[in-house]
Copies of this chain bind each other. A is one copy, B any other.
């Protein structure tokens, strides 16, 4: 049966599978810590933009563009941390994360789409358009938190 390992395509597929497994083997508490870290950094880099959109912080196109680029990467990071193995871990994730995975994935994809738009718009330098795009990202964050996160006090 070892013969199959000598078929190059299968070796590649097997390697990929093992590499993926190397991720999946992270313990549930580690996965929670990692996904929370991604959310923390999303907050770090979105916070000032939200402040700008709300007029609490002066608009700074360079900061928006830089942070939008960071957020584009960070917005990809939390989702594999919401593995089913973490459903029993202490966190702010509501059970709906694990019971309605299609809707949760849709919300995650929506955030990434809106962040992508912000990246594009922020490069144009138009303040009003950029603030509108920031608002849309904020709504994507808030919408997902509304459905899938324990209410914050």
Residues of A within 8 A of B (CB): 14-16, 18-19, 22-23, 26, 33-34, 36-38, 40-41, 44, 48, 51-52, 57-60, 62-63, 69-70, 73-74, 76-77
* Cβ contacts under 8 Å, A44 to chain B: 26, 34, 37, 77
* Closest chain B CB from A39 CB (angstroms): 8
A40 and B51 form a contact (CB under 8 A): no
Copies held by the complex = 2
Bound: A36/B38 CA distance, A: 11
15 contacts between A and B (CB under 8 A): A18-B57, A22-B51, A34-B40, A34-B41, A36-B37, A37-B40, A37-B41, A38-B41, A41-B41, A41-B77, A44-B77, A69-B73, A70-B73, A70-B76, A73-B73
Q: In the complex, which residue of chain B has the Cβ closest to the Cβ of A39? A: B37
CB distance from A57 to the nearest CB of B (A): 5
From B18, B34, B58, give the contact of A18 (CB < 8 A). Answer: B58
User: Across the two chains, which residue of chain B brings its CB closest to A48?
Assistant: B22
